[in-house]
Chain A
Amino acid sequence: MTDLSQSPAGAEPRKHGGSLLQQTSHTKKRNAAETRFKAYGIAAIAAGLLMLVILVTTIVGKGTGAFQQTFVTLNVELLEAKLDKKGNRDLADIKKVTTFGYAPIIKGAMEAAVADLGIETSLKPKQLAGILSKDVAAQLRDYVIANPDQIGQTVEFRFLASGRVDGYLKGRVTRDSIANDKNISPEQLDLVDALAAAGVLEKTFNLDFITGADASDARPEAAGIGVAMLGSLFMMLVVLALALPIGVAASIYLEEFAPQNWLTDMIEVNISNLAAVPSIVFGILGLAVFINYMHLPTSAPLVGGLVLTLMTLPTIIISTRASLKSVPPSIRDAALGVGASKMQAVFHHVLPLAAPGILTGTIIGLAQALGETAPLLLIGMVGFIASNAPETLADGLLAPNSAMPAQIYEWAKRADPAFYERAWGGIIILLIFLVTMNTFAVILRRRFERRW
């Protein structure tokens, strides 16, 4: 019987009269195919996980730099002769000095610092000041206007270094890469090295990135995501205030009251289709209806919130219906049995029991809305610099603003690579929000999940 299993494969129709203990060559081939097939599966999983790892390491690797910023600590003499020629500390006069008028003071402060530290350099004062951000003059002016009594004193300031200097300290800018760069010279980098060695120039945690506003093209070092974060916050408030009640009401109707008729079918078909409509189409709707037709202000978080509400509603309705469905009919029967109306049964008993599920779905819907970008482009939430944080609720809803993902897109479009670091950093913040929201949703589900 062993002869049979040893006969060459395919020569004769196989019979399995042979010993089980020996694999026939045909079985061996089949097992090899099995192993290969399984390997494809493992390879696919590995490929997916590898992509995740690459994505996460790229984001973390490129984005963490945004949370650090190079600062220069300088003693600045606020010369009365330059800032308040009349000497009477009249705020109107002080305000007449433009940021341009502060340039000599900054140059002077740099010169003094270099001289104090005994650094040898061939740079002119203007080039010395060139390692500082263009934002410095405005910072100085704001300080002087806020504290006119300090004019004539020497005050210690912590100034932003320019984007190139920051990039040099982070390794993004090298001596090779600046060969054709008009913004910085090798001599300036020597100065930076010397200042860094003296401890005057150092890289520290950058809170301004998290709380600050966007900055213009020439000042990547001053750009922050804080104001855009507020824009996102106001949009989320709108989404929460509209999508949650409307979504829950629609779900209650469809799950508890809707008769089987064409209208109900129509609504259900519409909801499932809206869930799959490309988000950009919602942007077109927002532009055509809210801005062009209803004349709501462009770039306003209110409009963004309305558009995202329409986009999020299907998600919330679908998850709310699922959690209403999971409340067993016996609960409704019990309520109806003691003489409650259908409406009372639903609002007093079913809805509270379904609440954790509804909340979970809402958070997931909000997280989805928070990361959405495409519709925001169409309603004008990119392309300008949202420089001031809104002060009132109405301002927050109606004043032009950006949103986190739109701000990231805005940075990604700019020419200076220093903004790319900002974009990756913004993504880290965005992802922290999303992970927090999703974790919260998962915990909520685990905690309150009820098995009937």
Chain B
Amino acid sequence: MNDMTLMDNTVDTQNIKIAAKDVNVHYGDSHAIKDVNVEIEDKTVTAFIGPSGCGKSTFLRCLNRMNDTIDICRVKGDILLDGEDIYDRRVDPVQLRAKVGMVFQKPNPFPKSIYDNVAYGPRIHGLARNKAELDEIVEKSLRRGAIWDEVKDRLDAPGTGLSGGQQQRLCIARAVATEPEVLLMDEPCSALDPIATAQVEELIDELRSRYSVVIVTHSMQQAARVSQKTAFFHLGNLVEFGPTGQIFTNPEDARTESYITGRIG
């Protein structure tokens, strides 16, 4: 399957996984995202940074249509995944979200066993034909989530019993289990202590070899540590987008510089 995906990617996308064109988002009367254009590459970690309320999380949630669950939210413009508009009328968000997985700010394991947490996605999408295959997917995902060694002896224990860092890695493993192509992470470390944060950051770096990762963070250090590309949002605008090194050392826009040097934020 991976070969196939690889082939598709090379043929279809020239390494651009997601392309957003003139995206505008309104929450009721407030204009949350203004004319954002951005291209997110495959097998890269892209960081969205910016002050609170700048729209970075909103934009992230547009990428797998999680905003659909909010009644008052309207999205305009095109977001293309592998060249296909994900807001096309024919697109089923359910299928889209299997392809574009998401990890949330606060670890949110289901009140089920560790095994069932990871097996949930494959089960609903029908990815395994039998128990053996499911076992295999669960193990593979837990390994990719870098938590296999810690939980392999207690797969039947409830996921809610793990520590915060373990829970977040379990959530990453759960997201990975549906074989996504893109992983969206909404401040995945903000609820974790420094050691757990370091573990998750290390994991993100590993995930880059298989997935396109988009991470929202309010920690500039974290963005610098894990990402290759960085986008800076301010008041709903995408101010600057480029290689992480360049954004942090030689920003083009004055606002980016103010933010990085700590004058706004």
User: Which residues on A are within 8 Å of B, measured CB to CB?
Assistant: 1, 4, 9-10, 12-17, 19-24, 26-27, 30-31
Contact A31 B92 (CB under 8 A): yes
By beta carbon, the residue of chain B nearest A30 is B94
A246 to chain B, nearest CB (A): 43
| Chain B interface (Cβ < 8 Å from any Cβ of A) | 1, 4-5, 8, 81-82, 84, 86, 88, 90-92, 94-96, 98-99, 124-129, 133, 179
CA distance A19 to B92 in the complex (A): 11
The answer to whether B4 and A17 touch across the interface, beta carbons within 8 angstroms, is yes
Main secondary structure of the interface of A (DSSP, over half): loop
**Pick from A12, A17, A23, A30: contact of B5, CB under 8 Å:** A17
**In the complex, which of the residues B81, B95, B125 contacts A23, with contact meaning CB atoms closer than 8 Å?**
B95
CA distance A450 to B37 in the complex (A): 46
Chain A residue at smallest Cβ distance from B124:
A30
B96 A14 Cβ-Cβ under 8 A: no
Contact A27 B96 (CB under 8 A): no
Contacts of A20 in B (CB 8 A): 81-82, 84, 86, 88, 90-92, 95-96, 99
Report the separation of the CA atoms of residues A2 and B98 in the bound assembly, to the nearest whole angstrom: 17
A105 to chain B, nearest CB (A): 76
Partner of B8, one of A10, A17, A21: A17
User: Closest CB of chain B to A9's CB: distance in Å?
Assistant: 8
Expressed in whole angstroms, the Cα–Cα distance for A436 and B240 within the complex equals 63
Chain B residues within an 8 Å CB radius of A1? 4, 8
B170 smallest CB distance to A (angstroms): 22
Given contacts A20-B88, A24-B95, 20 further A-B contacts (CB under 8 A): A1-B8, A10-B126, A13-B128, A13-B133, A14-B125, A15-B1, A15-B4, A15-B179, A16-B95, A16-B99, A16-B179, A17-B4, A20-B81, A20-B92, A20-B95, A20-B99, A27-B92, A27-B94, A30-B94, A31-B94
Do the beta carbons of A14 and B126 come within 8 Å of each other? yes
- What is the distance, in angstroms, from B205's C-beta to the closest C-beta of chain A? 25
> Which partner residue on chain B sits nearest A25 by CB separation?
B126
The distance from the CB of B26 to the nearest CB of chain A, in whole angstroms, is: 24
Min CB–CB distance A31 → chain B (angstroms): 7
The listed residue (A16, A19, A26) touching B84 by CB distance below 8 A is A19
Asked if B81 contacts A16 (CB within 8 A), the reply is no
When distances are taken between beta carbons in the complex, the residues of chain B under 8 Å from A19 are: 84
Best-buried of A9, A17, A22, A24 by chain B (most CB within 10 Å):
A17
Contacts of B4 in A (CB 8 A): 1, 4, 15, 17
CB-CB under 8 A from A16, the residues of chain B are 95, 98-99, 125, 179
CB-nearest residue of chain B relative to A15? B1
- In the complex, 9 of the A-B residue pairs with CB atoms within 8 angstroms, ordered by the A residue number, are A10-B129, A13-B129, A14-B125, A14-B127, A15-B1, A20-B84, A20-B86, A20-B88, A30-B124
- Please report the C-alpha to C-alpha distance between residue A17 and residue B3 in the assembled complex, in whole angstroms: 11
Question: Smallest CB–CB gap between A35 and chain B, Å?
Answer: 13
Specify the chain A residue showing the minimal Cβ separation from B130: A13
Complex Cα distance A16/B84, Å? 14
